[in-house]
């Protein structure tokens, strides 16, 4: 295969790969971060709704601010993960564009390193947001466990 045909095929592959990567990331990863956001937000809403109940046990009442704080941190972390995801997709698209434009390999490698770093931030932030949810739910569960049993 002549060199120009190879270069043309590689360029076409890079363009197709860039497009497919952006579509796949939106189809799979964005809902993941959105669900982490919704899970924390819905849990916080449920706790706030619980506050309308009459005569909340003091043990639970003391746990509620901590629980809400953990859920709020989960929401913030999820939102940050979605921001990093959007930026990461842009960086990966730049990576494939550099390949398509036949830029120097050092420039391509540098772009790949940056895009990969941002994508790793997304992964870490997603797991941290789930951790905040677990911590908030665990805090409330422990408060419920410490409640005195009602007299029969």
pLDDT digits (tens, 9 = 90+) for 5-38: 877 777 777 777 766 766 776 676 677 777 777 8
d(CA 94, CA 103): 11
pLDDT digits (tens, 9 = 90+) for 41-56: 888 888 888 888 888 8
Whether residue 138 is contained in a domain is answered as yes
Q: Is the pLDDT of residue 151 over 90?
A: no
Tokens 């932030």, located at residue: 125
Whether residue 152 is contained in a domain is answered as no
Nearest of 94, 75, 93, 61 to residue 33 by alpha carbon:
75
Predicted TM-score of the model (pTM): 0.76
Half-sphere exposure (Cβ direction) of 25: Cα atoms closer than 13 Å: 20
Nearest of 101, 73, 84 to residue 32 by alpha carbon:
84
Percent of the chain clearing pLDDT 70 (strictly above): 91
Q: Is the pLDDT of residue 138 over 90?
A: yes
Whether residue 80 is contained in a domain is answered as yes
DSSP 103: -
Point out the least confidently predicted range of 6-10, 102-106, 118-122: 6-10
Give the count of domains, the chain: 1
Whether residue 67 is contained in a domain is answered as yes
Expressed as residue numbers, the domain containing 103 is 3-146
Whether residue 151 is contained in a domain is answered as no
């Amino acid at each position: 295969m002549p060199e120009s045909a190879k270069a043309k095929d590689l360029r076409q592959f890079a363009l197709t790969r860039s497009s497919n990567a952006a579509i796949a990331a939106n189809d799979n990863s964005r809902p993941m971060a959105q669900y982490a956001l919704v899970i924390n937000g819905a849990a916080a809403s449920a706790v706030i709704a619980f506050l309308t109940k009459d005569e909340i046990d003091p043990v639970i009442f003391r746990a509620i601010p901590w629980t809400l704080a953990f859920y709020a941190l989960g929401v913030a972390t999820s939102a940050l993960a979605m921001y990093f995801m959007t930026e990461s997709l842009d960086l990966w698209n730049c990576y494939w564009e550099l390949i398509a434009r036949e830029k120097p390999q050092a420039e391509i490698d540098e772009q790949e390193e940056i895009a990969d770093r941002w994508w790793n931030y997304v992964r870490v932030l997603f797991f941290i947001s789930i951790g905040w949810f677990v911590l908030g739910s665990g805090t409330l569960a422990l408060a419920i466990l410490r409640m005195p049993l009602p007299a029969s």
